Amino acid sequence: MARSGGRAFIKRLVAKMTLEEKVGQLTMVSAELARTGPTFAPVTLDSVKQGRVGSILNLWGRQRVRELQRIAAEESRLKIPLFFGLDVVHGYQTIFPISLGETCAFDCKLWEQTARAAAEEAAADGIDLTFAPMIDVSRDPRWGRTSEGPGEDAWLASRFAQAKVRGFQSRSLGEANAIGATAKHLAGYGAVRAGLEYAQVDVSDRRMQELYLPPFRAAVDEAVAAIMPAFIDLNGVPMTANAGILRDIVRDQWGFAGVMISDYAAVSELIAHGVAKDPAEAAALALAAGVDIDMVGGTFAKGLPQALERGLVTIGAIDAAVSRVLELKAKLGLFDDPYIRCTEAAAPKPDDDARRKRRELARQAARRSIVLLKNDGGLLPLRGGGQTIAVIGPLAAAGAELAWSITGPSNEAKSILDSLRAALTASAISFTPGCEIDRIDEGGKAKAMEIARQSDVAVLCLGETPQMSGEAGSRARPSLPAAQSELALAILALEKPVIVLLYSGRPLVLPDELAAKADALVALWFPGAGGGPAVSDILSGDFNPTGRLCMSWPVDVGQIPIFYGQRPTGRPASPDDHFTSKYLDLPIEPLFCFGHGLSYGRFEISDLRVDRPQLRAGETLDVEADIANLGAVAGEETIFLFARDPLASIARPMLELKDFRRVALAPGERATISFRLATDELRFLGPDFLPKLEAGSIDIHVGQSAARDKLLRARVTIVVEES
Ligand code: GLC
């Protein structure tokens, strides 16, 4: 009989398992090809043979995977296959932009395509499941993992989550080139105190329900295979032991039947959190909350047998977790063919065409993730030939070290300097680093000033290295490193045209003078293997930038957390009234708002109209507006649809994103953009956190960013029939 994975098969299999074998299925152990947390004893062949390990992370390569899989699937007593997990977050061999950058593309199709490409490459190398997408909303650039996430908005993060799950999981998890997706890190991780990694999180139930949980609900609705709880404690309850969310909401209310995989050693860390006195208590708390797999740390292995003896857990709860893990393996096709992703045959060398397509996709993704923040005097795009260009900065010649994934740097990444030299052949391009990432030297600065003096325009390549963001990458001062600010200000003092390119894993706080005096400012994020060519495509005008900020860009760290969806205050800011909501020493608006991004064109939106003045439950509202390309070049504009409920039983945000459209127009071309908004999308969570539709006015806004003063507005009225 085929080794299927049906419920009867799994029930029979569980019935045969010893307690040690059951706990083995709930134990994930790290191999040593990558290190993604504190060091623990690596996986051993004997532990696999004895059935004490159910899954492995941080191992890749068909042969290596196949060897361990062979031991589990052919030599262990019950021949239960392993599954192999890895952080395939923004690409595998082909490296795409970090998620914070890719989200700025506002392109669901692109998000799915890059996940699909990553899944194909990872599955061909033995990976069954990725610990991605990371869908933690963040409004705090101090937090290093802002770089891994989809920005500040829950609705956008939800679309990102669903596109990534579709891309990774394809049509069926049983396909050889599909990999399981893991929605992480459930939830509220982006609200760590003061942006401090792993710190406590204190968030209201309302904020959880309106902001941090919706992307995970969206992933569950898209049939995500696994969920990973966050390291943090939420209001005093560590997420790894948070039954109120993992079990009561995610499993019971949302119906999530997949596998919960703890974060790295997070079960054992319940002791450090101070909620468990020993491994037995930690294991019991995690299992009861709904965690099925203990990633590294061996706390389930050590603690569950003791917890069973002490009556802290039941064998039924253990069996339920084991069944979910076996069901995941069945869905991944591993019972039918344990070698589905690590077949004997050498990985199909992606033919040149496939690799070329992926490189092109990486370049396209990089182009679309880059945001043109400022372009005074139309300095960009650079004119054609004959210009002398001084390329300055410690990141100008950086290549592979900026395009990285868990499997290492990408040898395909070209630096900005090499890309500009290849693209702008008619221009004389000089280069000097000018300083190190965070160390200035007078000689370097002087050299930089000298080549800038001798050039028509200076291109400054500044920012962070990848090590300055990501996990354990919190920065209390999320600013451009001081040495680079000093270099930039010295160049700006020459009164030459200056373009500042910023690599970063977050919106970087910039010196006021730099933000004011730079003629052009471009956010690159970490754009992946296609980053260098994408930058030269944009600077040369070969690509008209389309990126839009998915996260507000603060003037200063003192504004953080800053985001567009603030609720109104009882005392809106007024320069004429002292007693109103504003700072004495900073503006209250960000340097660049959510949705901001320039192109080389000029688009105008006009004539917002709706197809009805009133809306009832179950109806939809058609929203239209006209858009014209008034510029001289073809381009693409992103238009946002926001709603605002000015009067409700709960104070509502000043704007809520409901949809977006991208439209490409030739010079002089006009078009109509249309949205369809269901009344249901205008519900909000009432006092009981149940969706509620209230009678009254709703403002519908359409515009090119969350800058409220530039939005078009139409008002409709919700009519609620008395039941
Ligand atoms: C890390 C991260 C998590 C990752 C896991 C496995 O600590 O928190 O995002 O998936 O360990 O590498």
- Which tens digit of pLDDT belongs to each residue from 289-327? 999 999 998 999 999 999 999 999 999 999 999 999 999
For residues 550 and 104, is the Cβ–Cβ distance under 8 A?
Answer: yes
Q: Average pLDDT of the chain?
A: 96
Given a cut of 60, whether residue 2 has pLDDT beyond it is: no
Q: Say yes or no: 656 and 529 in one domain.
A: no
Q: Is 144 in the pocket of ligand 1 (CB under 6 A)?
A: no
Beta bridge partners of 430: 390
Which domain CATH number covers 467? 3.40.50.1700
- Distance (angstroms) between ligand 1 centre and the Cα of 263 equals 6
Q: Is 430 in the pocket of ligand 1 (CB under 6 A)?
A: no
**Prior bond of 458 cis (ω within 30°):** no
How confident is residue 465, by pLDDT bands cut at 50, 70 and 90? Answer: very high
Mean per-residue pLDDT, 575-600: 97
Assigned domain for 488 exists: yes
Ligand 1 atom nearest the C-alpha of 132 is 10
Q: Say yes or no: 371 and 503 in one domain.
A: yes
- Distance (angstroms) between ligand 1 centre and the Cα of 230 equals 9
End residue of a domain, out of 534, 550, 566? 550
Q: Say yes or no: 538 and 666 in one domain.
A: no
Residue among 146, 147, 264 whose CB has most ligand 1 atoms within 8 A, to mutate: 264
CA distances from 577 to 92, 104, 362, 654 (A): 55, 37, 51, 21
Give the domain extent around 443: 362-550
Instruction: Determine the pLDDT at residue 350.
Output: 63
Assigned domain for 440 exists: yes
Q: Say yes or no: 397 and 544 in one domain.
A: yes
Ligand 1 atom nearest the C-alpha of 134 is 9
Assigned domain for 608 exists: yes
- Residues composing the chain: 723
Mean per-residue pLDDT, 52-62: 96
Assigned domain for 520 exists: yes
Interhelix angle 279-289/315-331, rounded to 10 degrees, is: 60
Q: Say yes or no: 368 and 495 in one domain.
A: yes
Given a cut of 50, whether residue 552 has pLDDT beyond it is: yes
DSSP letter string over 50-97? TT--SEEES---HHHHHHHHHIIIIISSS-PPPEEEE--SSBSSSB--
Q: Say yes or no: 434 and 523 in one domain.
A: yes
For residues 569 and 581, is the Cβ–Cβ distance under 8 A?
Answer: yes
As annotated, the active-site residues are: 263
Interhelix angle 442-453/482-492, rounded to 10 degrees, is: 30
Residues 234-255 pLDDT 10s: 999 999 999 999 999 999 999 9
Q: Is 481 in the pocket of ligand 1 (CB under 6 A)?
A: no
646-671 burial, b if ≥16 CB within 10 A, otherwise e?
A: eeeeeebbbbbbbbbbebebeeeeee
Collapsing DSSP states into helix, strand and coil, what is residue 171?
coil
Instruction: Determine the pLDDT at residue 383.
Output: 81
Assigned domain for 193 exists: no
Q: Say yes or no: 380 and 500 in one domain.
A: yes
Instruction: Determine the pLDDT at residue 1.
Output: 42
Instruction: Determine the pLDDT at residue 665.
Output: 97
Which domain CATH number covers 663? 2.60.40.10
E runs forming strands in 493-611: 498-503, 520-523, 603-610
Instruction: Determine the pLDDT at residue 210.
Output: 97
Q: Is 263 in the pocket of ligand 1 (CB under 6 A)?
A: yes
Identify the H or E element spanning 513: helix 512-517
Residues 61-73 pLDDT 10s: 999 999 999 999 9
Mean per-residue pLDDT, 42-67: 94
Residues 665-722 pLDDT 10s: 999 999 999 999 999 999 999 988 899 999 999 999 999 999 999 999 999 999 998 7
End residue of a domain, out of 485, 519, 550? 550
Assigned domain for 51 exists: no
Residue among 87, 145, 186, 267 whose CB has most ligand 1 atoms within 8 A, to mutate: 87
Whose C-alpha lies nearest to ligand 1, atom 8? 263
| % of the chain exceeding 70 in pLDDT | 98
CA distance 452 to 594: 33
HEC-encoded secondary structure of 391-411: EECCCCCCCHHHCEECCEECC
Q: Say yes or no: 419 and 485 in one domain.
A: yes
CA distances from 12 to 55, 124, 241, 278, 295 (A): 21, 32, 30, 33, 26
Beta bridge partners of 405: 408
Residues 70-116 pLDDT 10s: 999 999 999 999 999 999 999 999 999 999 999 999 999 999 999 99
How confident is residue 348, by pLDDT bands cut at 50, 70 and 90? Answer: low
For residues 509 and 554, is the Cβ–Cβ distance under 8 A?
Answer: yes
Q: Say yes or no: 543 and 667 in one domain.
A: no
Q: Say yes or no: 393 and 508 in one domain.
A: yes
Q: Say yes or no: 614 and 541 in one domain.
A: no
Q: Could you tell me the strand order of the sheet in which 428-432 lies? A: 371-375, 520-523, 498-503, 457-463, 388-392, 428-432
Q: Say yes or no: 534 and 631 in one domain.
A: no
- Distance (angstroms) between ligand 1 centre and the Cα of 51 equals 24
DSSP 8-state code for residue 277: S
For residues 136 and 263, is the Cβ–Cβ distance under 8 A?
Answer: no
Collapsing DSSP states into helix, strand and coil, what is residue 36?
coil
- Distance (angstroms) between ligand 1 centre and the Cα of 562 equals 27
CA distance 627 to 603: 7
Q: Is 87 in the pocket of ligand 1 (CB under 6 A)?
A: yes
Instruction: Give the total number of structural domains in the chain.
Output: 2
Instruction: Determine the pLDDT at residue 385.
Output: 73
Residues 169-201 pLDDT 10s: 999 999 999 999 999 999 999 999 999 999 999
Q: Residue 83: which of 328, 372, 409 has the closest Cα? A: 328
Assigned domain for 5 exists: no
Instruction: Determine the pLDDT at residue 407.
Output: 85
Instruction: Determine the pLDDT at residue 38.
Output: 85
Q: Which residue has the higher pLDDT, 489 or 42?
A: 489
CA distance 335 to 409: 34
- Distance (angstroms) between ligand 1 centre and the Cα of 621 equals 42
Instruction: Determine the pLDDT at residue 6.
Output: 86
Whose C-alpha lies nearest to ligand 1, atom 11? 264
CA distance 11 to 410: 44
Assigned domain for 544 exists: yes
Given a cut of 70, whether residue 3 has pLDDT beyond it is: no
